Amino acid sequence: MLYSPGESPMSSVTGFLNDNALGIALRLLILLVVAVLASRGMRALCNRLVRPASGSSKAEQAREQQTRGLAELAFQCGSAVVWLVAALTALALLGINPLPGIAVVVVVGIAAGLGAQNVLRDLLAGFQIVLEDQFAVGETVQIGGGAGRVEQLTLRRTVLRDTRGALVTIANGEIRTVANLSREWSQAFVDVALAPEIPLEKPLAALETAAAELRADAAWSQALVDGPRVLGLESYDRDASVLRLQMRTLPMRQEEIARELRRRIQLEFQKRGIAVGNVQRVGMMNAQAEADPAMPPALSPQ
């Protein structure tokens, strides 16, 4: 270190330290500004995850609350990372080795991850469910072998009210396949079994009449998306000839409309004197099953 004429060594050292402290303070200030800007940018980015409710229904309101909770969690995690990096950088600027702190954070993170891996798995699965909008509170879903109305959805668990009225709690990490029965439309097939020796002309005409009457009834037509339509002979063997009808309804209305259609078919068959065995089954599915190649051809909108 060089000294100017008339300058004492002590004053020179003091000036150097003051200049160095000023530089460190300036760098810390810049680091603080960058951290604040990064945190605000993280907030703006996370707010893009929020999906405002497009209507006043409970399902829409619940979906908005779920995405807001997801955005808040993402912001808290991202903000924690930003300030942790800023703190370690500040230690380095002050001349303190940050490696021990980094090592402690890594060890604690690994220990927490190993001890709570199931919780982390559930949280990540819940994050994916909300982000992809797979289902929301108030919708009816089928998860694995059980089905019910979604009563509660958090990042850790999904709570269903099943057909018995019981509350079923499912860890989100355990969910592999979900069938959402409340989106867009539902579908039903009504099969009618006849004795194999009966000619099909009169039964087919009776089915067409029953389907047309149901479509024309204002009390039921508002719940119909398409159909009912007669698909024809579904199967034929020595025991029975099976005729099939197909229809699409508003979500979760397919069962009651199928019952009404069966009632009208029975009345029409009785009126025409057609002997009928029984309605064998009603198959139900939602819009997401349309991609299944095993499904019958899709109905065209009317």
> What confidence tier does 57 reach under pLDDT thresholds 50, 70, 90?
low
Residue 299 pLDDT? 41
Beta-carbon contacts of residue 227 (< 8 Å; ≥ 6 apart): 211, 215, 245, 246, 247, 248, 299
Mean pLDDT, all residues of the chain: 79
* Calpha distance 9→237 (Å, rounded): 112
User: Under a CB-based contact definition with an 8 Å cutoff, are residues 188 and 228 in contact?
Assistant: no
What domains, with CATH codes, occur in the chain? 11-115 (no CATH), 135-180 (2.30.30.60), 186-291 (3.30.70.100)
Q: What is the residue whose two structure tokens read 């998306």?
A: 225
Residue 114 pLDDT? 62
**What are 186's two structure tokens?**
């539902």
Residue 228 pLDDT? 94
pLDDT in tens, 126-176: 888 888 888 888 888 999 888 899 988 888 889 999 888 899 999 999 998
pLDDT in tens, 195-250: 888 999 999 999 999 999 999 999 999 999 998 999 999 999 888 899 999 999 99
Strand 186-194, strand 167-171: pairing: unpaired
Task: Using alpha carbons, list the distances in angstroms from residue 30 to 42, 81, 98, 269.
Answer: 18, 18, 19, 85
User: Under a CB-based contact definition with an 8 Å cutoff, are residues 162 and 129 in contact?
Assistant: no
Mean pLDDT of 39-57: 74
Report the percent of the chain where pLDDT is more than 70. Answer: 78
User: Under a CB-based contact definition with an 8 Å cutoff, are residues 294 and 283 in contact?
Assistant: no
pLDDT in tens, 174-195: 998 898 888 888 899 999 999 8
* Calpha distance 140→34 (Å, rounded): 46
pLDDT in tens, 81-138: 888 888 888 877 777 777 777 777 777 777 766 666 788 888 888 888 888 888 888 8
Which of 47-51, 57-61, 181-185, 230-234 is least confident?
Answer: 57-61
Q: Does the pLDDT at position 17 exceed 50? A: no
Within 113-256, strands assigned E span 140-143, 146-153, 157-161, 167-171, 178-180, 186-194, 224-236, 241-249
> What confidence tier does 11 reach under pLDDT thresholds 50, 70, 90?
low
Q: Is the pTM of this model over 0.95?
A: no
Residue whose C-alpha is closest to residue 67's, from 156, 140, 130, 160? 130
* Calpha distance 40→109 (Å, rounded): 25
